[in-house]
Structure 1
Amino acid sequence: MNREDKTAATHGGVLVELPLGDAAPNFNLEKSVCSHGLFMMAPNHWDPHSKTLKRPLRPCLDDDETSLMVHISHPPHSIHALHLRVFGTHALSPQQQQSLLLDNVYVASVWSRTLSMAQALCELQAELQHPLSSASNVMDENGTISSCQKLKLTISFQKHPQEKNQRESLEFVNCLRGTEDYSGSTIGNFPSPRDLARLDEKFLERRCNLGYRARRVINFARQVIEGRVQLKELEFVCGTVSLSDYDKLTEKLRMIDGIGPYTCANVLMCMGYYHVIPADSETIRHLKQVHAKSSTIRTVQEDIENIYGKYAPFQFLAYWSEMWQFYEERFGNLSVVPHSSYKLITAANMRPKKERGSKRTKLSVVKDMQDGFTKRMQA
């Protein structure tokens, strides 16, 4: 993709144009964004009416406190470039532009809990970056928030853990005016390593319902702050994906407490390594339901290779394209599903529908999808 972006200051913030290059004729922002569950997860917010992805981003890698709201769209009058509209500033440095562009390259009951934990962490980040000016301003006599002021964090959650109930937390977030999506609501960003490193483990565990993960999250954040984990090195690799680096990166990631084979494969997939398919119970369900494979956790990788090996080095893209289509056959167009229903998009609700009309078998549908994927890869 051509990275020669264009910027322009407008009444609605700063506009950054990201040329699509050779991908322009077939590019579809809606399908690109809404083809993975990440678009449902905070702080991402997909607007199906304007077909715009809204989320806060940090414009500078060295500044983990400042977040700006970014709207990503693909207007009909600009078919050759994406529009990244950055609010809350009148100018962006070349370094900030590059950082924003890097941030935009990715792009069962466990799922509903994952969504809730991500949402809780983003709400917590908003609270950490914009605490109330004083305890006397938190509540009035009716129990509602009376005032809110932007301030840097002035209390130590390590020494004074506090926990708000759900009503208080929602009222608190609604009164913030920091990272606003310009449609009336405020979206907290995902906490930075510095945000997390200074938290008390028990507070984070209770506040965001992380359970045993709280300790791992805080320890990882402190490793980043202390320089033992270099995130910039990993971000640099995103632009220079080489299969020869996969084992080396795997070794680095596996040294981090809490990152096992499945998580490691997912992280590397998000970085652009598509030749390994992260396999879990959802993969086993899919292979059984669609390919009539009686896979187990011991045999699933062999079955994956037999089915998707021919697409190397894009096995994951073929697998995910196939699985996502089956999800949409079950739930409909996921890009227009209400936000309140995201938690229902789980394997538990993937029971086959009664076939109507066409009598085509699932395997014939799979073959059509695979043929289509092969043609796209060859184009």
Structure 2
Amino acid sequence: MPGFSLTPPADYLLPRDYCSYGYFLLFPNHWSVREQALTRPLRLSGGVVGIRVTQPRRAGAPLKIETSRTLARDEREEARTQITRMLRLDEDDRSIAEFHRLDGRWKKTGRGRVSRSPTLFEDVVKTVTSCNVTWPGTVQMNRRLCEVLGAPVPDKPDAARTFPDAARLARTRPQTLRARCRVGYRDQRLVELARLFRTPASRGGLNVARLEDPATPDDEVHEMLIDLPGVGPYAAANIMQLLGRYARLPLDTESVRHGRSLLGYKGSSAQVMKKVHSHYAPFGPHAFRSYWLEMWEFYESKHGPAWTWERDSTGKMFTAAQLKKA
């Protein structure tokens, strides 16, 4: 197969650092436990391409990127950009070392990176489809979005379809999203979101470049996100960590469970959330990392390391509510 290589940060380990957040279990992502390989399609300017990412089992080893077709030079750069974003290769080992100085519990394991999607749009839609629903519902919605609205990989009929881009989602009828993708009340909001991403900022659309600019203040980013259709306080905070801004915590029912069962807090859900927020405040700009890695460690204590989870079995039940049924 054609392809190329990527040099990751010196501490980067693909199984640990990619299998670090629930979105790695959502379509069109597929992690092969047997091969320890990530496969998924990417949408590039020249069309759709399937990719397969592997790494020799040592930190910092070059990542091998296999592609379903030969890429033009500009397409290769697009693929590099999307893969770099998805795997957080733009967070160097100095950033992780800074986190470990604040929270030394994770230094031995080297943990600190939290994976995400190749594009901000996919991250936002995945976040909206994870609110007010069980995890199996989130899994189903993302699978259906790809199956119904995604584009196929040429000459690969069995490969997963792409995640729909903003242009495709913007021209989809809300009724189609509700009936065929099973998104429920999110139908109109997802279309509105897609149209904001699709429309240039100069014409009233979302200023994506401003959102993704590290120089933009956190408060401004939060205000921009909270104004988006379907985005409330939890979703805004979660999208912020997906943007590499870890100071805010996306607190939900899982946070309450964590506060009560692991941190020993008592009281109403609102009281427990307040205590959880205060507990992680000392970690400052890395608060989410400390919080999430504790949560992830709990999930792994039930079913083993995340890189051993099969997407279509264990991957559907890793949240606390589902683990209680296991």
Kept after mapping to 2: 8 A contact 1:70/1:86: yes
**1:187 matched residue in structure 2:** 160
Cα distance between partner residues in 1 of 2:238 and 2:289: 12
Please state whether the residue corresponding to 2:240 is helix, strand or coil: helix
The structure 2 residue matched to 1:99, chosen from 81, 85, 88, is 81
Is 2:235 the partner of 1:263? yes
- 2:209 is aligned to 233
Pair 347,97 (structure 1): closer, same or farther in 2 beyond 3 Å: closer
The residue matched to 2:50 in structure 1 has which SS? strand
Q: Which residue of 2 aligns with 1:336?
A: 308
CA, structure 1 residues 316+79, in 2 after alignment: closer, same or farther (shift >3 Å)? closer
Q: Does 2:53 correspond to 1:72?
A: yes
Q: What is the aligned partner in structure 2 of residue 315 from structure 1?
A: 287
| Bigger Cα displacement from structure 2, 260-269 vs 293-302 | 293-302
The worse-fitting range, judged by mean Cα deviation, of 251-260 and 275-284 is 251-260
Q: Once the 2 structures are TM-superposed, how far is the Cα of residue 234 of structure 1 from its aligned partner?
A: 5.1
Aligned to 2:26: 41
The answer to whether the 8 A contact 1:179-1:187 is kept is: no
Q: Which deviations, in whole Å up to 9, do the C-alpha atoms of 1:97-135 show, x marking residues without a partner?
A: 553344423439610000000000000124xx46xxxxx
- Kindly provide the CA deviation profile for residues 128-151 of structure 1, in whole angstroms up to 9, marking residues without a partner as x: x46xxxxxxxxxxxxxxxxxxxxx
Instruction: Kindly state the Cα deviation for residue 321 of structure 1 after the two structures are TM-superposed.
Output: 1.0
Q: Which residue of 1 aligns with 2:142?
A: 118
2:183 matched to 1:202? no
Residue by residue over 1:214-248, the C-alpha shift from the partner in whole angstroms, topping out at 9 and shown as x without a partner, is 101111212222323346415742xx3x5x61110
Check 1:96–1:346 CA distance in 2 against 1; reply closer, same or farther (3 A cut). Answer: closer
CA distance in 2 between counterparts of 1:352 and 1:69 reads 35
Once the two structures are overlaid, the 10-residue window that deviates more, 195-204 or 104-113, is 104-113
Does structure 1 conserve the Cα–Cα contact (< 8 Å) formed by 2:24 and 2:31?
Answer: yes
How far is 1:301 from its partner?
Answer: 4.4
Higher RCO by CA contacts (8 Å cutoff, separation 6 or greater): 2
Residue pair 1:121, 1:190 contacting (<8 A) in 2 also: yes
Matched-pair contact (CA < 8 Å) for 2:195–2:205: no
Aligned to 1:85: 66
2:249/2:277 contact within 8 Å kept? no
Shift of 1:13: 1.8
How many pairs does the alignment contain?
Answer: 279
CA 1:123 to 1:89, structure 2 compared with 1: closer, same or farther past 3 Å?
same
Alignment of 1:15-34 (within 5 A): 15=4, 17-21=5-9, 24=10, 26-34=11-19
- In the superposition, relative to structure 1, how do residues 349 and 224 fare at CA in structure 2: closer, same or farther (>3 Å)? closer
- Work out the CA distance in 2 between the residues paired with 1:322 and 1:292: 14
Larger Rg: 1
Q: Answer yes or no: is 1:212 the counterpart of 2:212.
A: no
| Whole-Å separation in 1 of the counterparts to 2:229 and 2:307 | 35
Amino acid at match of 2:3: V
**Quick one: distance in 2 between partners of 1:97 and 1:190?**
15
- Partner residue, 1:150: none
Q: Percent identity?
A: 27
Q: What is the CA–CA distance in structure 2 between the aligned matches of 1:293 and 1:115, rounded to whole Å?
A: 30
**TM-fit CA distance, 1:312:** 1.9
Give the match's secondary structure for 2:285.
Answer: coil
Task: Kindly provide the amino acid, as one letter, of the partner of residue 189 in structure 1.
Answer: T
Match of 2:276 in 1: 304
In structure 2, the partner of 1:371 is: none
Q: CA deviation at 1:280?
A: 0.5
Cα distance in 2 for residues equivalent to 1:299 and 1:253: 25
* Cα displacement (A) at 1:30: 0.6
In structure 2, distance between residues paired with 1:77 and 1:333: 17
CA distance in 2, matches of 1:245, 1:48: 39
8 Å contact kept, 2:13–2:58? no
Gaps of 5+ in 2: 89-114, 117-131
Give 1:19's aligned amino acid: T
SS in 1 for 2:17: helix
| 2:299 counterpart residue number | 327
Please say if residues 284 and 295 of structure 1, whose CA atoms lie closer than 8 Å, have aligned partners that are also in contact.
Answer: no
| 2:2 corresponds to | 13
CA RMSD of aligned residues (A): 2.6
1:49-79 deviations in whole A, cap 9, x for unaligned?
221111111234xx7xx22111122125894
Whole-angstrom distance in 2 between the partners of 1:207 and 1:351: 30
Shift of 1:352: 11
